[in-house]
Amino acid sequence: MHTHLTTWRVAFLTVVLVAAAIFVLPSAPRAARPQQPPQQPSELALVISGDPGTPPRYAVPDFVGLTPDVGDVAKTIGQVLWDDLAFEREFYLIPRDTYGSVPAARTPEQIPFASWRELGADAVVFGTVQRTGNDVRIQVRLFNVRTRQSVFSKEYSGAVANPRLYAHTISDEIHDQQRGLKGVARTKLAFASDRNGVPLGGTVENRQVKEIYIADYDGANQRRLTVSRQLNVNPSWSPDTRSLAYTTYRPIPDIFVSFIYQGVLQNPTKGSGTNYLPVFSPDGKQIAFMSGRDGNPEIYVMNADGSNVRRLTNHPAGDSTPTWSPSGAQIAFTSDRTGKPQIYVMGADGSNLRRLDIKQSEADRPTWSPAPFNEIAFAGRTGGGFDIIVYEMSTGKTTPLTFGEGSNESPAYSPGGRHVAFTSTRSGGRTQIFTMGRDGKGLRQITRDGNNQTPAWSN
């Protein structure tokens, strides 16, 4: 028993230190975000439009390396920026392999606007990368091809370690300026994975550990967060993106909160039976979760520090997977009180319980969209597997987003609600994370290694 406890302490400390090393030292995503000097006063902060009824057509060539050793960085930024801008589907991105006919420019004055116009571009991005000591300086402008005027101009300087982050930042700022849209290029996905193939301790059966991983929204920079060598599943981001709550088996399932930048691990449900499926409230002050502490799986809410636990449901069936409404005033969850899982909604104090009128025989894992949308995505039984289906709260209308390609589960909205991450077995039978637009279009596969499940999308 003594050995056991000591082992946990070492493992805990290791989690903390590794988290600190990964997230604080080399490239803390927030802290090392490129410095942004105040925007140059622009007399023409104009929105570039396309032909009537069509989205503006953007060209994003490679950035130009002004010093000899930044060619790769310049190329990466151009490619990632193209992908980021394409992801939101606000613009039409002219394919990069058609840019060969356009002469390269090394200065804004050399931009061949006539050639870009021939290619059908309404907008062209021009960017440069220059090494300055240990850092790089990146300048970027967005030009209206018709008027040849710069409508967006930014400069960043900082470490060269993660060039993709500059592209993500530029993408978010272009979406903000051109569309008034909060882009998701700097958001992250957390999920559980068995990719390391580490066997779980014990001799009962062939079991593997699952650890929590974090990736950029596009699947780049996949990194392991937990090192507990246990089953770790169901991560949930705090709204400030500073911490993740998740279910961890030690070996009894319990809720841990990992403050990923500080390297602190908390156990708000310590010593209170089995606890699963934590999910932060929209203001980050509370966590809803499932617990069997009173002899049956029920929905509970506690303050994020573990205080003030309230039980919200009381039914001999199983109540699970709570999700908060955008305002935090309501909670939806799954219950099999009719014999099959269905989705219910109640006030955040447990009042006004009602069942959503959903025609699928089984409906599970509701995820309430953020504002401005007011809809619940869930996994609905369709034949042998599940599909991601959206229930619109105001009309009760349901719309499928997937159509029987593999089994599709665990929907998670992006901030802003324009995209959905989910798991699917469509790619060779293993469970992988995908993202798509809230209309089901624009599918992207995020993971390919091992089995990956229960995605959560950060703000």
Partner 1 sequence: MRNAQKTIIIVMVLAATIAAGCKKKPVATPQPAPTVEAPPDTTPPPAPPQRVEETAPVPQPRLPEDAIANRSLDDLNRDSPLKPVFFGLDSAELDDAGRGVATANADVLKKYASWAITIEGHCDERGTAEYNLALGERRALAVKTYLSSLGIPPDRMRTVSYGKEFPFDVAHTEDAWSRNRRGHFVITAK
**Which residue ranges make up the site for partner 1 (CB under 8 A)?**
3-4, 6-7, 10-11, 13-14, 17-18, 21-22, 25-26, 201-207, 210, 227, 229, 231, 233-234, 249, 251-253, 274, 276-277, 290, 292, 295-297, 318-321, 334, 336, 339-341, 362, 364-365, 379, 384, 386, 409-410, 453-454
Query: Minimum distance between the CB of residue 63 and partner 1, rounded to whole angstroms?
Result: 24
Count of alpha carbons within 13 Å of 66, Cβ hemisphere only?
15
CB nearer to partner 1: pick between 169 and 228 = 228
Phi, psi of 177 (to 5 degrees): -75, -40
Torsions phi, psi of 102, nearest 5? -95, 125
CB of 111 or CB of 231, closer to partner 1 = 231
Rounded to an integer, what distance in angstroms lies between the CA atom of residue 256 and that of residue 145?
52
In angstroms, the CA 42 to CA 23 distance is 36
Residue 339 beta carbon to partner 1: minimum distance, rounded to whole angstroms:
7
Closest CA to 418 of 386, 375, 452, 387: 375
Q: Which is nearer to partner 1, 317 or 393 (CB)?
A: 317
Output 362 or 392, the one with its CB closest to partner 1. Answer: 362
Which token pair is 268?
A: 């708000």
Residues 264 and 23: their CA atoms lie apart, in Å, by: 12
Please, what is the minimum distance in Å from the beta carbon of residue 319 to partner 1? 7
Nearer to partner 1, 359 or 441 (CB): 359
Shortest Å, Cβ 22 to partner 1: 8
User: What is the SS3 assignment for 139-194?
Assistant: EEEEEECCCCEEEEEEEEEECCCCHHHHHHHHHHHHHHHHHCCCCCCCCEEEEEEC
Q: Which is nearer to partner 1, 88 or 387 (CB)?
A: 387
- Angstrom distances, CA of residue 7 to CA of 14, 48, 290: 10, 59, 28
Q: How far is the CB of 177 from partner 1 (least distance, A)?
A: 35
Nearest approach, Cβ of residue 293 and partner 1 (Å)? 10
In the complex with partner 1, the residue whose CB is nearer, 46 or 159, is 159
Least distance to partner 1 from the beta carbon of 161, Å?
9
* CB of residue 73 to partner 1, shortest distance in Å: 16
For the bound state, the minimum distance from the C-beta of residue 31 to partner 1, rounded and expressed in Å, comes to 15
Query: Which residue, 109 or 205, is less far from partner 1 as judged by CB?
Result: 205
Residue that the structure tokens 């790769």 belong to = 72
> For residues 17 and 104, which CB has a smaller minimum distance to partner 1 in the complex?
17
Q: Which two tokens stand for residue 266?
A: 């908390």
What's the rounded Cα separation, in Å, for the pair 227 and 244? 14
Q: Other CB atoms closer than 10 Å to residue 134's CB: what's the count? A: 8
CA dihedral 79, 241, 139, 162 (to 10 degrees): -60
First-residue to last-residue Cα distance in the chain = 41
Report d(CA 447, CA 382) in Å as an integer. Answer: 24
SS (H, E, C) 359-394: CCCCEEEEEECCCCCCEEEEEEEECCEEEEEEEECC
Of the pair 64, 290, the CB lying nearest partner 1 is at 290
For the record, the structure tokens of 191 come out as 């999920």
Place of tokens 């008034």: 180
What's the min distance (Å) between Cβ of 283 and partner 1?
24
Phi, psi dihedrals of residue 118, rounded to the nearest 5°: -60, -35
Q: How far is the CB of 229 from partner 1 (least distance, A)?
A: 5
> Among residues 132 and 308, whose Cβ is nearest to partner 1?
132
